[in-house]
Chain A
């Protein structure tokens, strides 16, 4: 089905944005698209909170002495940075915003299976977020986002129970989102849309949902145990009673390792869609990419103790987990090969979403490879708890997940808002983000390898590390500018951007076959799918934004 030039329309069509006005029509909505926007606003807010803490961390580390904040305060800074970024930004980000918006549309459904549960999920997120904000404003937590026992259960004086409960509530939000996606994808696909015709974005979100469903409850019960231990003296991890602090770590990481796959899988799904569209080619090795998503979800549950290699666990068990950690890299590598093969002999277009996808490819690969360094027991002993680890996970979470998120926001912005963002500014922002990111985090690999410990506010016994720290802080500032720019021009485009046609990218996918922005029930008629995914051989190249579209 080839795209026609959009017919000039004198009157603005009814869509999900203008169907109803008023605060209550938003706060009581069950429309998955409006809920996605509610999430967008909320997670952006928390992104800046987390970013603010990051800024303070990097400011402190400009000089070797601990001269900006006190040690306890610094502990709180990196703890709150981690907790906010992990639980209130990264884990919801793509699934709750892009997933909520697109999953029903991509499968030709009118909404998710449980729209009211979807709204409940957002309210739970907000309640958790408010609890976390209150916790931060009244003293915060200083245990690290990993809140290890027995410090968290017995010795810390900070507001651990409150933070834990905030995360518990937010975790419930995550579980409900996953539940909604799984049931929707199983039960509400349009006629003719078999599993092998699904966009890989859907496969990625399905895999993500499996992790959310099976992993989150374990950290939920761990938080309950920590809260019980602190508040009710029901010591489970207390060494004085014969309890084992390592049991906490097992239970904590059983979720928190798969959690990192919750953060990266949706991003991979986004990147797959973008690379296919801007190479004008079907993804190479569709089945491999689909099954790799599931494999990542399953294998991701097998490797958690690689976070505990130096904590006192059995060496023999460590061997097993090290081996499994190598295995989990394989499906991710398969995906990287498939994306690269898709680019080969493709007709590449360098629009902003594609720039983010390229950034993802390089940075995720680097992050992933350094993960293999960490999976090796010998190297891990050397670099555990140093900046090497910090750099590794930021390459994946920021260089990978956040880049994918930004790429996806740009790619689907015309669909979500009905407006085109300014392409020039977007490409500039992508470049600034890429440069800022590498400047921030590459020095951290070097710092870590040379021995700078993480979570230290004072490195005055290693003053030679200052140069790299200064570079890192400078990079963080550049990165911050790169993140602010899209905020500005996305908002600008909502009022002044060119109206978008149904399919400005000439992309494949059911979401592009309806208006931008879509009507409340997504499609005027239920689609019947008779074509394979990524049928780019039947679609023209994307138009530039000079295509005339009447206001």
Chain B
């Protein structure tokens, strides 16, 4: 993924890095507050934001000229969700009858 380098990509990297650390801190702190059942949702949402930031900025998906890389990532996530989701159809409905 060659240079779409702006005048200082370093600045972006440090901003993202700070955001990631902040997200970690927030996740850690919020876990000790009872927000059941939202604790898991908050933690996973922050984790997903962090993962997205790493993927977009550190792994240079943002600014990648080709759609193919994005397709690969989206396909992987899609099939992962398939595995989790369709398996859950069994476990979620086993006790229905």
Direct A/B contact, Cβ within 8 angstroms: yes
| Interface residue ranges, A against B (CB under 8 Å) | 186, 210, 214, 218, 246-247, 250, 254, 301-302, 304-305, 313-317, 320-321
A302 in complex: contacting residue of B75, B86, B90, B94, CB < 8 Å: B86
B75, chain A: closest CB distance, angstroms? 7
Given A210-B75, A316-B89, A320-B89, 11 new contacts (CB under 8 A): A186-B68, A218-B83, A254-B87, A305-B86, A313-B90, A314-B91, A315-B97, A316-B93, A316-B96, A316-B97, A317-B94
Q: Is the CB of A246 within 8 A of B83?
A: no
CB-nearest residue of chain A relative to B91? A314
- Contact check, B94 vs A313: say whether CB atoms are below 8 A apart: yes
Binary A-proximity of B71-87 (CB < 8 A = 1, otherwise 0): 00001100100110011
Residue in B76, B90, B93, B96 whose CB lies within 8 Å of A246 = B90
Nearest residue (CB) in A for B66 is A186
* Bound: A302/B76 CA distance, A: 15
Q: Is the CB of B82 within 8 A of A302?
A: yes
| Cα separation A210 to B71 with both chains bound (whole Å) | 12
In contact, B83 and A314 (Cβ under 8 angstroms): no
> Could you list 30 examples of A-B contacts with CB < 8 Å?
A186-B68, A210-B75, A214-B75, A214-B76, A218-B83, A246-B90, A247-B87, A250-B87, A250-B90, A254-B87, A301-B79, A301-B82, A302-B82, A305-B86, A314-B89, A314-B90, A314-B91, A314-B92, A314-B93, A314-B94, A314-B96, A315-B93, A315-B97, A316-B89, A316-B96, A316-B97, A317-B86, A317-B89, A317-B93, A320-B89
Cβ–Cβ contact A254 & B89, under 8 A = no
A residues in contact with B79, CB < 8 Å: 214, 301
From A210, A218, A301, A305, give the contact of B90 (CB < 8 A): A305
Residues of A within 8 A of B89 (CB): 314, 316-317, 320
Residue of B83, B87, B90, B96 with most partner-chain A CB within 10 A: B90
Query: CB-CB < 8 A to B86: which residues of A?
Result: 302, 304-305, 317, 320-321
Q: Which residue of chain A lies nearest to B79 when distances are taken between CB atoms in the complex?
A: A214
Measured CB to CB, the nearest residue on chain B to A215 is: B79
Q: Which residues of A contact B92 (CB under 8 A)?
A: 314
Nearest 6 CB-CB pairings of A with B: A317-B90, A316-B93, A314-B94, A314-B93, A317-B89, A214-B79
In Å, the complex CA distance between A218 and B83 comes to 9
Q: Find residues 43-97 in chain B having any chain A CB closer than 8 Å to their own CB.
A: 68, 75-76, 79, 82-83, 86-87, 89-94, 96-97
| A321 / chain B contacts, CB cutoff of 8 Å | 86
- Tell me the complex Cα distance, A320–B92, Å: 13
List of A residues within 8 angstroms of B93 by Cβ: 314-317
Complex Cα spacing A314 to B91, Å: 7
Q: How far is the CB of B30 from chain A (nearest CB, A)?
A: 29
- Complex CA gap A301/B83 in Å reads 8
Q: What's the Cα separation between A250 and B96 when bound, in Å?
A: 19
Q: Cα distance A317–B29 when bound, in Å?
A: 39
**Distance of A252 from chain B, by nearest CB (Å):** 12
